[in-house]
Structure 1
Amino acid sequence: MTQWYQLQQLDSKHLEQVHQLYDDSFPMEIRQYLAQWLENQDWEHAANNVSFATLLFHDLLSQLDDQFSRFLIENNFLLQHNIRKSKRNLQDNFQEDPIHMAMIIHNCLKEERKILNSAQASNEMEVGSVQNTATGMPCKQKELDAKVRAVKSSVTDAEQDIKTLEDMQDEYDFKCKTLQNREHESNNMSQEEYKKEQLNLQHMFLSLDCKRKEVVNKIVQLLHNTEHTQAALINDELVEWKHRQQTACIGGPPNACLDQLQNWFTIVAESLQQVRQQLKKLEELEQKFTYDPDPITKNKQFLQDLTHKLFQQLIQSSFVVERQPCMPTHPQRPLVLKTGVQFTVKLRLLVKLQELNYNLKVKVLFDKYVLSMNVRFNYIFYLFLCRFRKFNILGTNTKVMNMEESTNGSLAAEFRHLQLKEQKNTGSRTNEGPLIVTEELHSLSFETQLCQPGLVIDLEVS
């Protein structure tokens, strides 16, 4: 990740300090256009060596020429004007004194690092303050929190690597086209010059190939780390929460809040969504330029399938019953329902993505799996099941999940006015005595479907 990219992520207070570093003598637009090249040069040495400073000065002008040619191809008149003006200013100010330019650039980069360190120190103080308020968090959860944050950080790093790869590929493509155009000019290049350019292109291609392999390997490692972190979320933390919920339903202590779990699920989901976009970008780069063996071509299907599998698994696991069915008249007895009496139930999606707001329509189903149970279990249990009464659900049995309905802004759907009514078969006796509560066990199921471009996921919880 380049220093310039890190600076752009800072808050407004620190960004203002960055703005104050640059003026017309060395404008910020040059810093922006040539960020990686500038950071790769030894400006401290150049500030003390006139020969090296002169060499870097001419290299800088050459870099600006390349940038101007790109704007020329893009037909961007305004940026052509700006880059040409910046080059003239550099020549006017530093042609006779390249050491002065090297000193300015060295000082700017040094001050940028100070600003970054200051911002990092402020951030660490804030994080430390938050951590001090959460000293009650168990060590296992602290470790999991660190893993989730590491996933997010890795995705950010991959984003910058892909941007660097795109810049390298654009530069390689530009150099190839430039060489082809020069070959067709009337005053052809000398053989020696042509070989030199070909060798330069070969080196650029090797660097490009290495960068592609590096990016692909980083995404593979990122997805494997995400898989392990996600497994801990789903198989450990979520299972423990459901167990605590079951205990609370039979008189145990109140269940813990879902907010921390939602925070982790959301960070991982956002990271996977970002990886999906990164893979699309890699595919675009592959379509523009490919070769054999191309690491993107070789690995893209595996990466796409793994990302889809992880996102689907995470979304499906995040669909939970936050508050079990309960009659308002008996709030201390969840899961015990009477026919003809209204009850409420609340669902929640632990992945809080803005694009899902008002996009998930949930439907309630009653005893969806009784028939399959009849088939699976033995004949005696089948006869026992046949004694169960059948019910219809009255009230609104569909609801759209949204963030406005919940007090904490989570993506939720609450069914407030549901009730059960028994189905009466023709000719059935109506004077049978009432069944006691424990004689019948039924289930409520909730279904919805997530639809996004290139992605359809069925969600269900009961």
Structure 2
Amino acid sequence: MAMWIQAQQLQGEALHQMQALYGQHFPIEVRHYLAQWIESQLWDSVELDNPAEEAKAKRLLDNLVAELQRKAQLQGGEDGFLLKIKLGHYANQLKSTYDRCPLELVRCIKHILQSEQRLVQEATNASCGSGGQAMDSLSQRHQQINQAFEELRLATQETENELRKLQHSQEYFIIQYQENLRIQAQLSSLSSLPPAERTQRETTLQSKRATVEAWLTREASTLQKYRLDLSEQHQKTLTLLRKQQTLILDEELIQWKRRQQLAGNGGPHEGGLDVLQSWCEKLADLIWQNRQQIRRCEHLTQQLPLPGPMEELLSKLNADITDIISALVTSTFIIEKQPPQVLKTQTKFAATVRLLVGGKLNVHMNPPQVKAVIVSEQQAKALLKNESTHSESSGEILNNNCVMEYHQATGTLSAHFRNMSLKRIKRSDRRGAESVTEEKFTVLFESQFSVGGNELVFHVKTLSLPVVVIVHGSQDNNATATVLWDNAFAEPGRVPFIVPDKVLWPQLCEALDMKYKAEMHSGRGLSEDNLVFLAQKAFTNSSNNPEDYRNMTISWAQFNRESLPGRNFTFWQWFDGVVELMKKHLKPHWNDGAILGFVNKHQAQDMLLSKPNGTFLLRFSDSEIGGITIAWVAENPNKPGERLVWNLLPYTTKDFSIRSLADRISDLNHLLFLYPDRPKDEVFAKYYTPPLSKAVDGYVKPQIKQVVPEFTTPNPEPSGGTPTFMDQTASPSVNHPNNFGVYPSMSDTMLDADEDFDLDDTMDVARHVEELLRRPMANQWSSQQS
């Protein structure tokens, strides 16, 4: 309700804009009486382009109607009678309007709330500015644009007034001209009169004719001056229009597209499109008004030709204003929702295109159809250079035609492609070491429509962000690298789809941090220490000083073409493996600060040896993609008094799909403190799986437990019971008696103390234990007894 209270304080143009948001599609009374309820609902959780969300939207509609009906019933007394009837009527009206299309109600309310928030924010910023406080650059820019619109409105109103004066003057001129012709006709008819009367009448008529002709001569000169002055005023207005359009299209819209591109890497959502549409609609309205004025000037000139350069001036003005409106229409045909940039064949995908001036130019009166085709990088270059007028395709997209729909509640004209699928792709010859996951395509959307009763016909096209086409999920990792590099380092106005081969390391750090924070859904991104660790990995450097990497450049080959030294994977493949592991299984622990992650084995050793036995930390594996290991400090079983740092074989996504990290840590009683000194239960207890319930129908449920043999010892057996394990943290030296048969003794080294991991010489204890638990217990006992 706080937003509605602020919205009611708006004044002037802002108040008018706020009131214009409401109408038959959503009455302002509903907003007023249900303000608190409306603002408390999760409208943004509904995906408008997803038909599966219709049920959620239907529940919101039903709840809204029920809330209105409840509000109506609460009205009592003489004053409340009419309100009760009115609210009940609105409940029925909304039900009948949106029952078959509940997503449109959500679209409408989202648009209203976003617009109110924008208007309130702009009003707040303006008041702060008038109070002498500095406004941020965004508010200053918006204020500059709004001031320019006010200047254009006044200039357009002035030329309209001058045009009406010119029209009135010209009409009076024509009347006087007709009067002059009548006088001449009267003079010609005097020959039939007697001489005396003819002379008297001729003198009077000639005097009158001389007066009229003198007036016509002066007025013709005045009309010509009016016309020239008006054309100069129009020229000034066109200059202002072009300047304003350049600011909106070449700066604001380009910045929005850049934000949209960075959103593909996890950047902030590219909001603000409704603001851009409002500006573009104002431009369209002003341009169209000026164009109509210029055409009326042309009509007046044709109606009364006068000597002078007016025809040429008006012809140039007409051509200029047509160029301006053509640039506006073609530039505002945009992709609101981009297709996925990693596009898998035979997989459904969606996209939305929008014409920002469609509603203002009444394009929806004859809804245009939009077609989507996929084109290669070379074809995209040819299209932008106008070397190709027809749309060659590099593949076949199913369901690639869609009619643009007008949403009255939001005033948007858009086409929602909901069920496209790339059936096949035609690849070009690759260059050098380039792989299929480095080849870029783009989805071309095109349409044709007319405005002003077929007066102007527009053929519009727009290209999606680059897409990489894959045919198998195993290619997703490398395709994502291509997309991330392109999104992060593409320059505005580039030739498709050129990107630099090398970038500064801090630039890449910014892109990696953006990606990481987005996947974690948290403000906790990559710290400076994390980035130093990544720099050491990327450059095989041991320096711990961030300044040493600030001016270093990293190439695309170093990023995702060449394998890291001694490994069979690239820098990106390792990093992406970490991101996938964290996103799927460990996100809460990262956000809690429980995972250090970006620490190498030697750093972990130095950190842990200064802490008490049982202190542990979690770090990402250097040797395995998407692996995380537990390192802890304990005594050396072979040399009493000596302390070692142990590293458990890395866990992967497969392991955590069987048993969670928290439960695995809970199983290992020799792990006591999370580095530096936090009791492990304090950190992980809230994620432990609750104990299993008691036996049901005579069956006991089995339970998977993680065991590290070197750190376990058997408990005394209860009479008639099954042998059990107890973790032994005081001494890592464990002897397995021969009569202990649940877990056979193992001579292989399962833990790695201080030395580097060798995957060929180690084994995953947890997996082995889980495998044993799946075997029938009776068979193991019988084999031991035999």
TM-score band, normalised by shorter chain: 0.5 to 0.7
- Aligned-residue offset at 1:131: 5.1
Q: Deviations over 1:65-105 (max 9, x none)?
A: xxxxxxxxxxxxxxxxxxxxxxxxxxxxxxxxxxxxxxxxx
Describe how 1:295-444 pairs up with structure 2 within 5 A: 295-326=309-340, 335-351=341-357, 352-357=359-364, 358-367=366-375, 369-371=377-379, 391-394=395-398, 396-404=399-407, 408-422=410-424, 438-444=437-443
Q: Deviations over 1:398-451 (max 9, x none)?
A: 1122212x86231111101111122599xxxxxxxxx99844422101011232
Task: Write the distance in 1 (CA, Å) between the matches of 2:120 and 2:153.
Answer: 21
Task: Write the distance in 1 (CA, Å) between the matches of 2:146 and 2:383.
Answer: 44
- Aligned-residue offset at 1:168: 0.4
Describe how 1:20-419 pairs up with structure 2 within 5 A: 132-133=123-124, 135=126, 138-185=139-186, 186=190, 187-188=201-202, 189-293=204-308, 295-326=309-340, 335-351=341-357, 352-357=359-364, 358-367=366-375, 369-371=377-379, 391-394=395-398, 396-404=399-407, 408-419=410-421
Task: Write the distance in 2 (CA, Å) between the matches of 1:303 and 1:323.
Answer: 37
Task: Write the distance in 1 (CA, Å) between the matches of 2:334 and 2:401.
Answer: 16
Task: Write the distance in 2 (CA, Å) between the matches of 1:454 and 1:256.
Answer: 34
Distance 1:457 1:424, change over 3 A: closer
| Contact in 1 for aligned 2:375/2:444 (Cα 8 Å) | yes
Which amino acid letter does the alignment assign opposite residue 419 of structure 2? H
- Aligned-residue offset at 1:390: 5.7
Task: Write the distance in 1 (CA, Å) between the matches of 2:240 and 2:383.
Answer: 41
Task: Write the distance in 2 (CA, Å) between the matches of 1:423 and 1:325.
Answer: 16
Partner of 2:444: 445
* Structure 1 unmatched runs, 5+: 1-10, 12-127, 327-334, 377-388, 426-434
Distance 1:296 1:443, change over 3 A: same
Distance 1:456 1:408, change over 3 A: same
Which amino acid letter does the alignment assign opposite residue 155 of structure 1? T
Larger Rg: 2
Larger RCO (alpha carbons 8 Å, 6+ apart): 1
| Contact in 2 for aligned 1:363/1:398 (Cα 8 Å) | yes
Partner of 1:18: none
* Structure 2 unmatched runs, 5+: 1-15, 17-118, 127-135, 191-200, 385-392, 428-433, 464-786
| Contact in 1 for aligned 2:183/2:209 (Cα 8 Å) | no
Distance 1:346 1:226, change over 3 A: same
| Contact in 1 for aligned 2:377/2:441 (Cα 8 Å) | no
What secondary structure does 2:362 align onto? helix
Task: Write the distance in 2 (CA, Å) between the matches of 1:447 and 1:212.
Answer: 41
Partner of 1:58: none
- Aligned-residue offset at 1:459: 0.8
Task: Write the distance in 1 (CA, Å) between the matches of 2:153 and 2:382.
Answer: 46
Q: Deviations over 1:201-251 (max 9, x none)?
A: 223222212211111111111111111111111111111111111111111
More helix by share: 1
Q: Deviations over 1:298-346 (max 9, x none)?
A: 30221111111111111111011111114xxxxxxxx222222211111
What secondary structure does 1:251 align onto? coil
Task: Write the distance in 1 (CA, Å) between the matches of 2:316 and 2:361.
Answer: 28
Which amino acid letter does the alignment assign opposite residue 303 of structure 2? K
Task: Write the distance in 2 (CA, Å) between the matches of 1:225 and 1:373.
Answer: 32
Identity between Structure 1 and Structure 2 (%): 25
What secondary structure does 1:448 align onto? strand
Task: Write the distance in 2 (CA, Å) between the matches of 1:444 and 1:420.
Answer: 11
- Aligned-residue offset at 1:174: 0.3
Residues paired across the two proteins, number: 304
- Aligned-residue offset at 1:192: 3.8
| Contact in 2 for aligned 1:282/1:296 (Cα 8 Å) | no
Distance 1:343 1:134, change over 3 A: farther
- Aligned-residue offset at 1:142: 0.8
| Contact in 2 for aligned 1:312/1:457 (Cα 8 Å) | yes
Task: Write the distance in 1 (CA, Å) between the matches of 2:208 and 2:382.
Answer: 83
Task: Write the distance in 2 (CA, Å) between the matches of 1:129 and 1:374.
Answer: 45
Partner of 1:100: none
| Contact in 2 for aligned 1:344/1:415 (Cα 8 Å) | yes
Task: Write the distance in 2 (CA, Å) between the matches of 1:157 and 1:374.
Answer: 44
Task: Write the distance in 1 (CA, Å) between the matches of 2:298 and 2:155.
Answer: 20
Instruction: Please provide the CA RMSD for this pair.
Output: 3.1
Distance 1:374 1:398, change over 3 A: closer
Q: Deviations over 1:353-385 (max 9, x none)?
A: 252014321110111554576999xxxxxxxxx
Partner of 1:82: none
Task: Write the distance in 1 (CA, Å) between the matches of 2:361 and 2:311.
Answer: 32
| Contact in 2 for aligned 1:361/1:448 (Cα 8 Å) | yes
Distance 1:268 1:442, change over 3 A: same
Task: Write the distance in 2 (CA, Å) between the matches of 1:342 and 1:241.
Answer: 27
| Contact in 2 for aligned 1:348/1:412 (Cα 8 Å) | yes
Which amino acid letter does the alignment assign opposite residue 356 of structure 1? V
Task: Write the distance in 2 (CA, Å) between the matches of 1:257 and 1:418.
Answer: 27
What secondary structure does 2:257 align onto? helix
Which amino acid letter does the alignment assign opposite residue 411 of structure 1? L
Q: Deviations over 1:165-202 (max 9, x none)?
A: 11100101101111221233243435444333332222
- Aligned-residue offset at 1:255: 1.2
Task: Write the distance in 2 (CA, Å) between the matches of 1:313 and 1:247.
Answer: 26
| Contact in 2 for aligned 1:368/1:445 (Cα 8 Å) | no
Task: Write the distance in 2 (CA, Å) between the matches of 1:374 and 1:148.
Answer: 37
Distance 1:224 1:171, change over 3 A: same
TM-score between the two structures when normalised by the length of structure 2? 0.36
What secondary structure does 1:184 align onto? helix
What secondary structure does 1:138 align onto? helix
Which amino acid letter does the alignment assign opposite residue 420 of structure 1? L
Distance 1:201 1:221, change over 3 A: same
More moved, 187-196 vs 409-418:
187-196
Task: Write the distance in 1 (CA, Å) between the matches of 2:449 and 2:426.
Answer: 36
Task: Write the distance in 1 (CA, Å) between the matches of 2:336 and 2:322.
Answer: 26
- Aligned-residue offset at 1:160: 2.1
What secondary structure does 2:343 align onto? coil
Which amino acid letter does the alignment assign opposite residue 149 of structure 1? E
- Aligned-residue offset at 1:129: 8.1
